[in-house]
Chains A and B, each alone.
Chain A
Amino acid sequence: MSERSLVPFDTAIERYDPVLGLEVHVELNTATKMFCGCPTEFGADPNTQVCPVCLGLPGALPVVNAKAVEAAVRIGLALNCSIAERCRFARKNYFYPDMPKNFQTSQYDEPIAFDGFVDVEVEGTDGQPVTVRIEIERAHMEEDTGKSLHVGGSTGRIQGADHSLLDYNRAGIPLIEIVTKTIEVEPALAPLVARAYVAQLRELMVALDVSDARMDQGSLRADVNLSLKPTGSTTLGTRSETKNVNSFRSVERAVRYEVTRHAALLDAGERVVQETRHFHESDGTTSAGREKSDADDYRYFPEPDLAPVAPDPAWVEELRGTLPEAPELRRRRLQGEWGFSDLEMRDTLGAGALDLVAATIDAGVAPQSARKWWLGELARRANDTGTDLAALPITPAQVANVQALIDAGRINDKLARQVFDGVLAGEGTAEEVVAARGLEVVSDDGALGDAVDRAIEANPDVAQKIRDGKLQAAGALIGAVMKEMRGQADAGRVRELILERLG
């Protein structure tokens, strides 16, 4: 298979319809684990956040974390799910050292949330936005596994490893697994829809404040299930499950790659193997993992150590009242309020600047100015230093302070850039940077007038053109004055002074 050339995506979707399924694991940001009081700090020393419960020691009894149940209900509600009046945990039995109990406590036939949907928006093949409804099958509570380190192999993979080392700090951290129903969309849009869905889930988790939802740290992980069926057919093909894809872009690439791989197999009359696949960030390909086998018979049974969870309907309604505005509705509302074009809005979202721009506008800045600074000057600096916009050492309030100085005529846009330099370098507030660096524009008409007179004297030809009515020539004189004032002048006022003298 690896030797054969893949079928290009665009060719593949002429003959086949992709069928997607997405499973997203969200690690909750609770202070403690799902069934015990161990802390959940990321990056702690190995096996320092463990206890008899999460180590599965004999006699230890689990107790459900109330905060995790609350988070699960809120996630379910935000996904437009029904919330179970009563549900149970189940043991998922398997032999693998990442769970010391030899089972993972999960939910099986009684998930806490089920039958929901989210609407995602993607750019259609005609460039117009298309809204796609993703049906949610279920969202259930479970626990994360420990981390394995395979020693002796050159690649850190299991092959060739002499032995494995286990750190159980992560074992037992609350997870919510969100499973979609099968997703069938216009074939060309499948990769984009998968990406948009995961991006929207992340946005939702952040808005709910239930998870850090950091894909790079594994607190939000996506499994991409994909199968192909001949165009127009209703019979589902065999699916592959690409595990732990860890960025939005990778989700899109994984779908794209699996479509091309499945199509090549099907074209050659071969069968698609039902197996897990690993995604490779470096080249966007996947490779075979574990084939489905008898080992996947998990012999689920209800967890006898935990009492059922029965969310009180009144409490569920109370939680519904705490839900943040749905991300897509908020985006639409803000775009309307700000008067952004579709392109401006898409750029703002793409830069991850929505909340920053919103906070800046809330601090009193005009929408277009807020957008201009975050997507221009500040985005450029974030880009230069390779950081996220949100990680820049400047707050929306500080950006608002800079803009307030501009609005008051005390600095201009050009000086503002130097003010940003100072604020980002930790030199203090915008006001302090202006004072310390002497950046204030010269508003003294006397000094400005002198500079204007000198500019007119030095450029008699230009001055004559302006006297003759060619007002656009004033730009050259304004430039000369600004240069003399080292940028510290209000260009509008300079123009007025020039025209007073030559008009």
Chain B
Amino acid sequence: MSQGISREDVAHLAALARIDLSEAELDRLGAELPAILEHVAAVQDAVSPEAGGDDVEAMSHPQPIVNVLRDDVVVPGLTADEALAGAPAAEDQRFLVPRILGEE
């Protein structure tokens, strides 16, 4: 993880996240991101027995809980008007989005 991240990696991630970065920003982030990853690596080492840390299971949820479930019972939601109230554009009771390019 700490072996670094290239300028190309940053450009790829930016493209996936639909973030338009300038050349100058790519240069800057190309230097900053490896530093951030190094900090993360320090945390990883702390919970990795191989690196002399404690054996702690990786967690994805802040609480050590499982099976938070709800019954299959309908709860009233939003009306179409309410749902569409925040939409930049709507048509025929549907959300209107710009044409989708480069797919299909």
Contact = CB atoms under 8 A, between A and B. Distances in A.
Interface of A: 30-32, 36-39, 45-52, 54-55, 57, 63-69, 86, 88, 93, 95-97, 100, 148-152, 157-159, 161-168, 289-290, 294-295, 297, 299, 301-304, 306-310
Chain B facing A: main interface SS: loop
Interface string B41-84: 00000000000000000001111011111111111111110011
B95 A47 contact: yes
B92 interface: yes
Nearest to B72: A67
Nearest to A303: B60
Nearest to A95: B18
B99 A158 contact: yes
A295 B103 CA distance: 10
B20 interface: no
Contact of B61 (A55, A152, A304): A304
A304 B60 contact: yes
Given A63-B68, A158-B99, 5 more contacts: A37-B76, A64-B68, A303-B60, A306-B68, A310-B67
A295 B15 CA distance: 9
A149 B100 CA distance: 11
A50 B16 contact: no
Contacts of B68: 63-64, 306-307
Contact of A68 (B72, B78, B86): B72
Contacts of A308: 60-61, 66-67
Nearest to A149: B94
A294 B100 CA distance: 17
6 tightest Cβ-Cβ pairs between the two chains A and B: A37-B75, A51-B77, A302-B60, A67-B72, A165-B94, A66-B69
A31 B99 contact: no
Contact of B77 (A37, A86, A161): A37
A36 B83 CA distance: 15
Contacts of A31: 72-74
B97 A163 contact: yes
B39 interface: no
Contacts, number: 149
B95 A165 contact: yes
A148 B96 CA distance: 10
B104 interface: yes
B98 A88 contact: no
A52 B67 contact: no
A50 B78 contact: yes
Contacts of A302: 60-61
A161 B74 contact: no
Contacts of A36: 75, 77
B97 A166 contact: yes
B12 interface: yes
B70 A66 contact: yes
A47 B61 contact: no
A309 B93 contact: no
B23 interface: no
A444 B61 CA distance: 83
Contact of A45 (B74, B80, B103): B80
B97 A164 contact: yes
B72 A47 contact: no
Contacts of B97: 97, 163-166
Nearest to A110: B60
20 contacts: A32-B74, A45-B80, A46-B94, A47-B93, A51-B77, A52-B78, A63-B68, A67-B72, A96-B100, A150-B100, A166-B95, A167-B93, A167-B95, A289-B104, A290-B103, A294-B12, A294-B15, A307-B61, A310-B66, A310-B67
B93 to A, nearest CB: 5
B100 to A, nearest CB: 6
Contacts of A57: 86
Q: Which of A162, A165, A167, A309 has the most CB of B within 10 A?
A: A165
A46 B92 contact: yes
B82 to A, nearest CB: 9
Contacts of A93: 16
A432 to B, nearest CB: 41
A298 to B, nearest CB: 9
